[in-house]
Structure formats: C-alpha cells, structure tokens
Amino acid sequence: MNNTYYSSTRENKEEVESSLAIIKGLSEDGGLFVPNKIPNLACSLTELIEMDYKQVAYEVMKCYFTDFTEDELKSCINNAYNEKFDTEEIAPLKNEDATYFLELFHGPTIAFKDMALSILPYLMKTAAKKQNIKNEIVILTATSGDTGKAALEGFKDIEGTKIIVFYPKGGVSAIQKQQMVTQKGKNTHVIAIEGNFDDAQNGVKQIFGDEEFNKIINNNGCQLSSANSINIGRLIPQVVYYFYAYTRMVKNKDITIGEKINIAVPTGNFGNILAAYYARKMGLPINKLICCSNENKVLFDFFEKGIYDKNREFKLTNSPSMDILISSNLERLLYSIANENGETTSELMSQLKNTGKYELTDEMKNSLNDFYAGYASEQETEIAIKKLYDKSGYLIDTHTAVGYAVYNKYIKDTQDTAKTVIASTASPYKFTKSVMKSIDEKFESTDEFELLKEMNGLSKVDIPKAVKNILNDEIIHKTVCKIDEMKDEVYKILNLK
C-alpha cells in the first residue's frame, strides 16, 4: 500500500510521516497537517460488516498511519478501546423515533472526546519512540470542560508524559469540575484560573509561543505538545465510527449496502463533522453532512453565505461545548475546497486573523454542496429533548439535541427520506441540569447531584460509573492561579531550573 504523508494547509510544502505530524500537532507555518491524499480502505464495506469496533478501527487507521507497524497500531487500539468503555460495542447505535443515534459517550468521561483522546496518548507515545524522542512530553491544555477531563483520563499514568490542564474557575458545570479536581494519576495536574475560557486558552497559546520558555523546558528534558482537536492523531480515530455505524446499519438490515445515509453532527470546532467528510471522501455512502450549530451560528452563516465572520457577540448556551466562534478544523475543509492550494488557505486565515472575517470565491462556495447547515436556539434545544423523551422515553443531552432539532428542520426543508445518523456527543448525565429542566421546569432549582437520581428514575439508564465514582472521590487538585501566573505554575510543576 502507498504511504500517506502529511503537509500543512498553508504554504509549507514539506511532507512528514504521520508519527511526526502527531508529535508536532501543528505545522511550523501555523497550518494544520492534512493527508496528501484521502486513502481508500484496503478491504470492502462488506468485509467491515463482520468486524468489531477495534477491527474496523484498525482497517481505517492503517491507511492514515502508514509508518506505524501492524503491531504498534493494534497495540494502540487495544489499549484505547478496552474496559475503559462501559460497552464492548464502544459506540452503540440506537434507533429511536426513526432516527439513528450513534452513542459516542460510553468512555471514561461520558462525552465523545473520549473516542479520540483514549487513543491519542498511545499514538503519541509510539510516535515519540519512532521519532527517537527522549524528552518527556508535556501536554498543556486549556479546557471549557470536556476536553480537559478526557485528556487527563487518556494521559493518566502514561509513561514518558505529563499533563497540565487549566480550566476557568467558574466556567464549567458542577459535574465537569468534580470530574477534574478528583483526577487520579501521578502525572496529572489540574489548575483553576481566575478568568474565563478565553483567558485560559490565550495563556496556553502564549506559553506555546514563548521561545525562551520552550528552550528552558527543552533544557530540562521536556517538550510541550497539544491534545486539542487540530492534532491528526485526534481527527483520524474519529473517522472510524462513521464506518462502524454504517456497517451496523447494514448488519441490522436497516439499509442495503451502498444505500446513502445522512450524518448530522452537533458542531463546535468542526472536528467531528470533518471526520465524517473524510469518511465520505473514502467512499462511505453519505448523502448530506448536516452541520448543526447552537446560537453561536458562525458556521450556519458560513454555509449560507460563503462568509466566515467571527465579529459577533459570544453567547453562553446550554450546549457549552459548542460555544465557539473560531472553528479551527474548518481550515482543513477550506484547503480541500481550494483544490489543496495552500496559498489560498493561508490568505483566508490571515484575513481571519486581521479582520475576523473572510469570504469564499464562487468556485469554493459551489464545493459546499455536500453540506446542509442549520442551527437551534436554546429553546428549540429544550423542546427537542422533551419531544423525543415524550415520544420514546429516550433522553438525549443538549448537544445531541441541537443535532436532533436541526435534523428535524432538515427533513421539513428537504423532505429527504434517507436514513440519518446523529452523532450523540455526550451522555445526558453530563448536563443533568439543562436536560432535566427541559423535561420539567421544576428541576431548575434542584441541586445538580440530586438531579442524577431524578434522571436515573426517568431514563431507565444506569448512572454511568464515571459519574457515580467521582461523587465520593477525594478532591486532589486545589490550586487556583491568576491569569498571569500560569507560566509560573508550569515552572513549578516541571521543576524547571
């Protein structure tokens, strides 16, 4: 099989092997790594039908991580998708109200980020060995709630790595906070900052960009790396579950092989839906990719008008993991619809940086036909949760509900009857308050932990282990720092000299 190499979405034409792209995270010119071609599977869809999740994962990932040996890749997959997940199916597909919900929340932190963050640490460790890197890899992450915990769980006690997570002190849900401050593992560090998510994100970016500081870190035998969704080591593992979902539908005789389905994805950073776009390019029979936004509908406007404009009010919604105005992974789509012309992407990205805005050419706009975009307000999201619950007794979280609400608009708009898979990105138990409030206003004032029991009564689904355990766990991480003290904290943790 031909090897797949990675180069930047911008001007740097250098091609690197996947292991180096995983270690680096970003290209030196600030662009994102993209495969030099979208590979084809070595086997047929028919063959995938008989495979389990791990086998499908191997078939998909081996076309992208071509410098990993079979043993290396299989070992990464086995270490990632094991008892950490509460079901052997890893990503079960549920059929409710004539819609297919692909439950991506059965991992240790009950949100879909586990799908990729449970394998990234192993990919990184293997890649470091292949690239002969002796330094300890230090993962530095700012989080608005989900990424931080999933990364902590993923990197916990992984030899040769440390992980430091900064979260906004008042900016995460009660359960998200409890998940992080009780984090176990001898290489994990969690710090609250007196600021919001943007402050945390900026602080982390500054540390990454501080050459002097990075030199000191290197001199102490460490190097920084990132676990956020621009790393191809996070993107590619997400392609897997779209193949998996499709083949389960064939296996259950819900569709015949070759029949086209739609995929609807609640979207923030554009990573999850981009993975579906890659799956489609690899030949998975997908009709429309339905891009679902909340009130921060920068992507909806982009698909409508061909103009990306982040100059707008930032809204805090009941689907907080999608509250985002700069969708980093969109750069990979731009590169693709610009016929892989790095100069074009580079120009658009510099416009975005300087003016907060850019506009596509007509030709690029015409290449967006694979997508349908929609958005749901907070109220529409709540109504979607209640409507589905009343019909079927199935409870979805607020993010998934944005997907479900937009999908219903899509049907109204197009009358399309193709079967549709909605990516269910979080367990309802992760956003208990908002979900229960949608079912009945009276829960507005109930304590978040008390609500777990109430939800349990309604949903017929057990309280996930991940939530149960943390309720009584010891609080380990108590450090709080000011925004301008983040660097000092890294100094202390790494014991730098």
Ligand X SMILES: *Cc1c(COP(=O)(O)O)cnc(C)c1O
CB of 112 to ligand X, least distance (A): 6
Q: Which is nearer to ligand X, 188 or 267 (CB)?
A: 267
Instruction: Answer yes or no whether residue 113 interacts with ligand X by CB under 6 A.
Output: yes
Instruction: Answer yes or no whether residue 271 interacts with ligand X by CB under 6 A.
Output: yes
Q: Which is nearer to ligand X, 107 or 342 (CB)?
A: 107
**Structure-block tokens of residue 192:** 């609250």
Taking CB under 6 A as the criterion, the residue among 426, 452, 470, 486 binding ligand X is: 426
Cα 375 from chain centroid (whole Å): 19
Distance from C-alpha of 384 to C-alpha of 97, rounded to nearest angstrom: 12
Instruction: Answer yes or no whether residue 111 interacts with ligand X by CB under 6 A.
Output: yes
Instruction: Answer yes or no whether residue 65 interacts with ligand X by CB under 6 A.
Output: no
Instruction: Answer yes or no whether residue 249 interacts with ligand X by CB under 6 A.
Output: no
CB of 93 to ligand X, least distance (A): 18
- With a CB cutoff of 8 Å and minimum separation 6, the contacts of 417 are none
Instruction: Answer yes or no whether residue 434 interacts with ligand X by CB under 6 A.
Output: no
Q: Name the residue with tokens 């389905």.
A: 261
Q: Which is nearer to ligand X, 38 or 422 (CB)?
A: 422
Burial code (b: 16+ CB inside 10 Å, e: under 16) for 15-54 equals: bbbbbbbbbbbbbeebbbbbbeebbebeeebeebeebebb
Distance from C-alpha of 438 to C-alpha of 398, rounded to nearest angstrom: 9
CB of 269 to ligand X, least distance (A): 3
Q: Which is nearer to ligand X, 264 or 439 (CB)?
A: 264
Q: CB atoms < 10 A from the CB of 364, how many?
A: 18
Instruction: Answer yes or no whether residue 268 interacts with ligand X by CB under 6 A.
Output: yes
**Structure-block tokens of residue 219:** 């001199």
Of 69-77, 151-159, 269-277, 308-316, the segment contacting ligand X by CB under 6 A is 269-277
323, 295 Cβ separation under 8 angstroms: no
Catalytic annotation, pick one of 24, 62, 113, 177 = 113
Pairing status of strand 93-96 against strand 99-103? antiparallel
Cα 24–Cα 29–Cα 34 angle in degrees, nearest 5: 60
Of 267-275, 376-384, 386-394, 488-496, the segment contacting ligand X by CB under 6 A is 267-275
- With a CB cutoff of 8 Å and minimum separation 6, the contacts of 449 are 174, 175, 471
By rule CB under 6 A, what string of x and - marks binding of each residue 86-105 to ligand X?
Answer: --------------------
Measured over the CA atoms of residue 158, residue 150, residue 207 and residue 490, the dihedral's sign is negative
CB of 267 to ligand X, least distance (A): 4
- What would the DSSP string read from start to end of 280-293? HHTT--EEEEEEEE
Q: Name the residue with tokens 């199935």.
A: 394
Distance from C-alpha of 243 to C-alpha of 71, rounded to nearest angstrom: 22
Instruction: Answer yes or no whether residue 269 interacts with ligand X by CB under 6 A.
Output: yes
Binding positions for ligand X, 284-323, rule CB under 6 A: 321-322
**What is each CA distance from 362 to 197, 302, 343, 349, in whole angstroms?**
35, 13, 17, 18
Instruction: Answer yes or no whether residue 425 interacts with ligand X by CB under 6 A.
Output: yes
Helices H / strands E in the chain, number of each: 22, 15
Of 38-46, 125-133, 240-248, 262-270, the segment contacting ligand X by CB under 6 A is 262-270
Q: How many binding residues for ligand X (CB under 6 A)?
A: 17
Element (H, E) at 234: helix 232-251
Of 218-226, 264-272, 406-414, 469-477, the segment contacting ligand X by CB under 6 A is 264-272
CB of 143 to ligand X, least distance (A): 10
CB of 145 to ligand X, least distance (A): 8
Instruction: Answer yes or no whether residue 180 interacts with ligand X by CB under 6 A.
Output: no
Taking CB under 6 A as the criterion, the residue among 4, 262, 272, 317 binding ligand X is: 272
113 belongs to the catalytic site: yes
CB of 399 to ligand X, least distance (A): 4
3-state secondary structure of 214: helix
Backbone angles phi, psi at 126, to 5 degrees: -65, -40
CB of 459 to ligand X, least distance (A): 17
Q: Which is nearer to ligand X, 5 or 33 (CB)?
A: 33
Instruction: Answer yes or no whether residue 270 interacts with ligand X by CB under 6 A.
Output: yes
Of 218-226, 265-273, 432-440, 475-483, the segment contacting ligand X by CB under 6 A is 265-273
Catalytic residues: 113
Binding site for ligand X (CB under 6 A): 111-113, 146, 229, 266-272, 321-322, 399, 425-426
